[in-house]
Structure 1
Amino acid sequence: MPTSATDRSARLNMRLTPEALATIREAAAAQQQDVRSFVLGAAMDQARFVLVTERVMRLTPTEAAQIDAALDAEPRVVPELAALIRAARTSQFTTRTQVPTR
């Protein structure tokens, strides 16, 4: 649930090694960010990636193979779809090139 930009009451604390902190500080400085912004940005990027992967890319091996096969197959023309596309293109072209009458 989205919250306003000013509602920053939630906290996250962690302990890490001095070496990890030094690496994070160096990376934050390289990006011209403070440590808090750098860590939050990196965590949010990873969180979004995980959520997209879990929500969108959840396929069984069989499903993945079916998608691969469909993408590798030669395209086939569906006559009804081709007719609709031709009609839409003709309609769009006619509409764009007509001179308005007054």
Structure 2
Amino acid sequence: MPRAAIDDNQRMNLRVPPEVKSRLTRAASLNHVDLTSFVTQAALREADAVIAAAEQIKLTEDSYKRVLALLEDPPEPNGKLLAAARAMPKPA
């Protein structure tokens, strides 16, 4: 059964096989940093990439121009859009 995460301190424990820890330690040594710094830096790079991918939409130049044109001159709402708008809860 998974344990609940506790955010009451700055410690994070990882369980990895000895060969994984050995590789990480070697890489950290080659980078002239301690194991904690090495793992943290790598994890932060990956976290930043995941967050950026989730928060950004990349468009081609043609798609970008189409989006801008639609924002400036939007089409008339169709039946599905009108039905969705009617189905939305009314603000209190």
Coarse TM-score class (shorter-chain normalised):
0.5 to 0.7
- Mark the structure with the bigger radius of gyration: 1
> For 2:30 and 2:52, how far apart are their aligned partners in 1?
28
Which contiguous aligned blocks of 4+ residues in structure 1 show a shift greater than 3 angstroms?
A: none
Q: Kindly indicate whether residue 13 of structure 2 is the aligned counterpart of residue 13 of structure 1.
A: yes
Which position in structure 2 is the counterpart of 1:4?
none
Give the 3-state SS of the residue equivalent to 2:32 in structure 1.
Answer: coil
Letter in 2 for 1:15: R
Which position in structure 2 is the counterpart of 1:56?
56
> For 1:69 and 1:35, how far apart are their aligned partners in 2?
43
Shift of 1:69: 6.5
5+ residue gaps, structure 2, are 1-8, 64-92
Q: Kindly indicate whether residue 60 of structure 2 is the aligned counterpart of residue 68 of structure 1.
A: yes
Q: Which has the higher contact order (CA 8 A, sep 6+)?
A: 2
TM-score by length of 2: 0.53
Which aligned pairs between 1:76-95 and structure 2 lie closer than 5 A? none
> For 1:13 and 1:54, how far apart are their aligned partners in 2?
27
CA, structure 1 residues 31+51, in 2 after alignment: closer, same or farther (shift >3 Å)?
A: same
TM-score by length of 1: 0.49
Per-residue Cα deviation, 1:24-79 (whole angstroms, up to 9, x for no partner): 0011011000000000111111101100011113xxxxxx7xx43617xxxxxxxx
Number of aligned residues: 56
CA RMSD of aligned residues (A): 2.1
Shift of 1:14: 1.0
Give the 3-state SS of the residue equivalent to 2:60 in structure 1.
Answer: helix
Letter in 2 for 1:22: S
